[in-house]
Structure 1
Amino acid sequence: MAEVIAALARAAEKWPDRIAFSDDETSCSFRELAARVAGAVERLAEGAGPVGLMAANGIDWVVADLAVTASGRCLVPLPPFFSDDQLAHVAGDAELSLILCDEDNRARAARLAPVETLFGPDVVGQADAALLRAPGSGQRIIYTSGSTGRPKGVRLGDRQLDYISAALARAISATSADSYLSVLPFPLLLEELCGIHVPILVGGLSTVRRHVAGACAGGDLDAIRLAFEEVRPSVSVLVPELLRAWVGALLLADAQAPSSLRAVAVGGAPVPPQVLQAAASLGIPCLEGYGLSECGSVVAVNRPGAAAAGTAGKVLDGLTVTIEEGEITVSGPSVMSGYAGGPDHQGAWRTGDLGRFDAAGNLIVEGRKDAMLVTAYGRNVQPEWIEAQLQGDPRILRAVLCGHGAPYPIALIVPGAFAGDFFQTAEPAAIIEALQGILTGIPDYALPRSFAVLTGDEMQTFGLLSPNGRPRRKEIETWIKGPEGRARLKTATRMEEKFA
């Protein structure tokens, strides 16, 4: 992070009046940003200990992020989607001495640690940007809930963060001419890197639209289409669900993506191939990637103009990735220092993900080792790519494959907006036939033969999803074998006979 802070100081001199960040309320030049960060650094120097950050995306969040880093104190972003119990665990585990927050999060944050209002222009004054020329050694602790729900803190310092920011900038050929649109929460490390650090490194513009993701989750798919049309960025980062929403909104509006776009990175989960194909036809230049917090959030990404669909692209320059007994193993400057409260990590990181390289050297990620299903016939089934294909159909909002030890996989289906009453009124045989018709290139033994239909709220109520929306596979296996799961399970006898 020393390089990012130094880049901010240089940008304040080279492009003092150029707009660096814009949000829903205001904008900020590089000179103004550097002065506000320097003023916040002076204020933070009065204390010690790790600092939590709990607020909505915006320029004030950016100032706090950079100021805590430049002050040499440890920054701990607090994800708003964590439960109160998870946040309490994070506050204790990281030993937070202070939480910077906005008014909307003040009451919640105050239950965890002492709080101060975020560094808005009316809260902290400006100072000489020269204060940024000798920044402290900032550290991050990034908490990830994973699938178990118990957050683990990943320790990342200057070495990891400076490397990954520069490597990302090179991978997407970022320049000062780029305009970035930020719609994901900044507590996600990838969005912090791409939405804050990379634009500062190259002197580009970052525009924050904090309400887009929430609006899409609430069913307003047009929010993302309108944001891209208004901002007309060249670069953005999305998760597959937001890409799907954008594709759907463009199709409904009979519109195309802005011609200004040159790179839209997509990661966090497998991308349905149907969505990638539709995105390409609509002018969205998708770049699939792969990474995890323990390796600085990005390990591999497709490059602009050279994307290989269905792969995560080439490994970032400076990293070494090997496949050991099928598992992706990473070594190099982005590998974490260790977990909070744990010993320092040395050497390569075994990711727990299965993968391989294609003939062109692109990384293909095949799913989690611990997600593997083994059927009663002894067949191994990796569920994540099957789930991605199912979720590429507009009738299906979410699909989770389960049935470890069963003769064939079982599909849990959350209907999408275009499903109508199909899943409520169609015969089980018709539904299974539809599910299998969506899947291409999947062997017979991996095709679902039975299913259960739930709403998104029921998935949460039954404890089948983690707070960040990932399937809790052990809980799902227990649920489907319990009374509620058995009551909802539907199997088409005729389909079973067909494959007997």
Structure 2
Amino acid sequence: MADVIRALAKGARDWPDRIAFEDDGGALTYGELAGRVSAMLATLGTGEGAIGLLAENSLDWVVADLAATASGRRFVPLPPFFSNGQLAHVAADSQIELILTDGALEARAAGFAPVARVTQAKADPALLATARPGTRVIYTSGSTGQPKGVRLGDRQLDHVAHGLASAISASAADHYLSVLPFPLLLEELCGIHVPVLVGGRSTIRARVIGECSSGNIDAIRTAFEAVAPSVSVLVPELLRAWVGALMLSGKTAPQSLRVVAVGGAPVPPQVLKAAGELGIPALEGYGLSECGSVVAVNRPGTAGPGTVGQVLDGLTVSIDGGEIVVEGPSVMSGYVGQPDLKGPWRTGDLGHFDAKGHLVIEGRKDAMLVTSFGRNVQPEWIEAQLQGDPRILQATLGGHGQAYPTVLIVPGAFAGDFFETARAGEVLDALHAVCRGLPDYALPRSYITTSNDEMQALGLLSPNGRIRRRAVEEWLSLPPARTRSRTAPVPEESHL
């Protein structure tokens, strides 16, 4: 991220008193930020060993991120939502020699490598001129196995940061609201690097996700209302929570908003429609760590409903046998411990371009369900529709090889006692009504109610909440799942 460090040095020189970042504990101007980053950079010295970062979202995280970026060393953000076993694997796999941390996570970090607190000292911002190019390693938990480290250098990350800034017309007038974890590369880019690149401002609200997960969905509404940002990035679950909170309050989103990018999973069409009606300029995007986190995003004013927008400038995206293939300067150098990647990246995602050149995501190749009638069903397609019902927090489709799919339902805040008291036929009628217009063979004919905690305990979700499709299929075949499955009479398949 050489360009971001140069932009920080420019900010310290040209607008030192402008606020750069703030969190619940205070704020840093560009001059103060550059001074703290310089002091941290001096502390790191000229070593070559890999640096980890395990801390809460905060000003300290920002300082450590930028200092490690400028150090020229391998930099590995450590997700707190990883298990200790996964973090131990990451530390060994990437050969971390030092972990930067804060008081809250220092004891945990010390279990994996020597630790150092993020310094509160300041030094001469001129030290930023000594910045060296380095490598950032992003570990993806995936759906199976140990996390894999994606190697990204300055070239890849600078390209994505500039591409994002251009796509959303980012400027010094923008005020970003950060609620997602910084170890997610998209949030790191949008919440730290793009604001610095354009001389903007970023406000960190680290507790919003936890409060929403605990049932206080109004936390996200009040955060946006208090900060009045122009830009933010959300995952679909948080967008749904915000939409629900606005509906309950009778309010609309702040008029200051220009862009709310949404990625990580398909967004239910009903949620996008409701968001627009409530003043949320929600724009879907698509990406993966192996391609610098962003491949395509809808632009303000030219969004294509049901698409993830246009490809970022400088990238080439083709469709080969239905699979999305990405080529260009943001494609990773390779995985840690593996040879450098040569050529384009085959994403494993299925998609196509619409008539206006917007990319449409159809789902994962390896997620395809094939019913006993020989019908192909993309589960993400149905799941996104079902999650448009405010009574459903999460829907997970399974049933490969069965006559019809089965859906695991995590009830949402608006479910009440519907799933406990309604007859199976009533629930299935409600599910099918949400999916009106979709083919009969793709609709679930049985369901199981569960919770996120139970799905984690059963190993059906990865630590960061991704569905483990193979584990879902294995569990659905077991007697406990079959006993809990609720169903109702269905019509016979008539189009074999």
| TM-score under structure 1 length normalisation | 0.97
Aligned equivalent of 2:155: 159
Distance apart, 1:499 and its partner CA? 7.3
Structure 1 residue 362 and structure 2 residue 358: aligned? yes
The answer for the alignment partner of 1:15 in structure 2 is 15
The 5 Å alignment of 1:262-301 reads: 262-301=258-297
Contact 2:46 2:71 in 1 (8 A): no
CA contact (8 A) 2:171 2:198 kept: yes
Structure 1 residue aligned with 2:36:
36
SS in 1 for 2:96: coil
Which aligned pairs between 1:60-459 and structure 2 lie closer than 5 A?
Answer: 60-119=60-119, 121=120, 125-459=121-455
How many angstroms apart in 1 are the aligned matches of 2:486 and 2:26?
Answer: 53
Counterpart-to-counterpart distance in 2, 1:84 and 1:134? 35
Describe the SS at the equivalent of 1:260. coil
Instruction: Classify the secondary structure of the residue corresponding to 2:42.
Output: helix
Partner residue of 1:58?
58
CA distance in 1, matches of 2:134, 2:124: 20
**Equivalent-residue separation in structure 1 for 2:482 and 2:176 (angstroms):** 48
Q: 1:34 to 1:420 in 2, by over 3 A?
A: same
Which residue in the other structure is 2:27 paired with?
Answer: 27
The correspondence of residues 480-499 of structure 1 with structure 2, limited to 5 A, is 480-493=476-489, 495-496=490-491
8 Å CA contact retained: 1:149, 1:466: no
> 2: CA distance between counterparts of 1:217 and 1:364?
29
Distance in 2, matches of 1:42 and 1:88, equals 27
Deviation at residue 441 of structure 1 after TM alignment: 2.7
Secondary structure of the residue aligned to 2:182 is coil
What is the count of residue pairs matched by the alignment? 495
**CA distance in structure 1 between the aligned counterparts of 2:281 and 2:494, rounded to whole angstroms:** 40
Q: Is the 8 A contact 1:12 1:31 kept in 2?
A: yes
How far is the alpha carbon of 1:309 from its aligned partner? 1.4
- For the residues of structure 2 that align with 1:498 and 1:337, how far apart are their CA atoms? 48
**Unaligned regions of 5+ residues in structure 2, if any?**
none
| 1:30 Cα deviation from its structure 2 partner | 0.5
For 2:171 and 2:297, locate their aligned partners in 1 and report how far apart those are by CA, in whole Å: 18
Q: Secondary structure of the equivalent of 2:374? A: coil
Deviation of residue 74 (structure 1)?
1.3
* Cα distance in structure 1, aligned partners of 2:270 and 2:279: 15
TM-score, structure 2 as length reference: 0.98
In 1, the alpha carbon distance for the partners of 2:423 and 2:27 equals 55
**Could you tell me whether the CA contact under 8 Å between 2:134 and 2:154 is conserved in 1?**
yes
**2:104 match: secondary structure:** helix
- Encode CA deviations 1:441-489: one digit per residue, 9 max, x unaligned: 3111111111111122211121111111111111110101101111111
What is the CA–CA distance in structure 1 between the aligned matches of 2:494 and 2:208, rounded to whole Å?
A: 45
Sequence identity (%): 66
CA distance in 2: counterparts of 1:219 and 1:394, whole angstroms: 14
SS at match of 2:171: coil
Q: Distance in 1 between matches of 2:392 and 2:221?
A: 21
Distance 1:437 1:183 in 2: 33
Aligned to 1:143, the other structure's residue is in SS state strand
Per-residue deviation at 1:146? 1.1
Cα distance in 2 for residues equivalent to 1:344 and 1:47: 24
CA distance in 2, matches of 1:462, 1:58: 33
Contact 1:270 1:384 in 2 (8 A): yes
Question: 1:149–1:467: 8 Å Cα contact kept in structure 2?
Answer: no
Instruction: Please say which of residues 387-396 and 423-432 is displaced more in the overlay.
Output: 423-432
CA displacement at 1:149 relative to structure 2: 4.7
The superposition leaves residues 211-250 of structure 1 with CA deviations (integer Å, 9 ceiling, x where unpaired) of: 0111111111111100100000000000000000000000
8 A contact 1:181–1:207 mirrored in 2: yes
1:298 is displaced (CA, Å) by 0.2
Distance 1:213 1:73 in 2: 31
Q: Relative to structure 1, is the Cα distance of residues 428 and 499 closer, same or farther in structure 2, using a 3 angstrom cutoff?
A: farther
Q: Shift of the alpha carbon at 1:427? A: 1.4
Quote how far apart the aligned CAs of 1:66 are.
0.5
3-state secondary structure, aligned to 2:92: helix
**CA distance in structure 2 between the aligned counterparts of 1:425 and 1:499, rounded to whole angstroms:** 32
The one-letter code matched in structure 1 to 2:244 is G
Aligned AA (2:461): L
CA distance in structure 2 between the partners assigned to 1:307 and 1:14 by the alignment: 35
Q: Give secondary structure in 1 for the equivalent of 2:425.
A: helix
Query: Aligned to 1:467, which of 451, 456, 463?
Result: 463
> Retained in 2: the 8 A contact 1:449–1:496?
no
Distance in structure 1 (CA, Å) of the matches to 2:236 and 2:335: 28
Q: Take 1:325 and 1:23, find their aligned partners in 2: how far apart are those partners? A: 47
Distance 2:14 2:436 in 1: 53
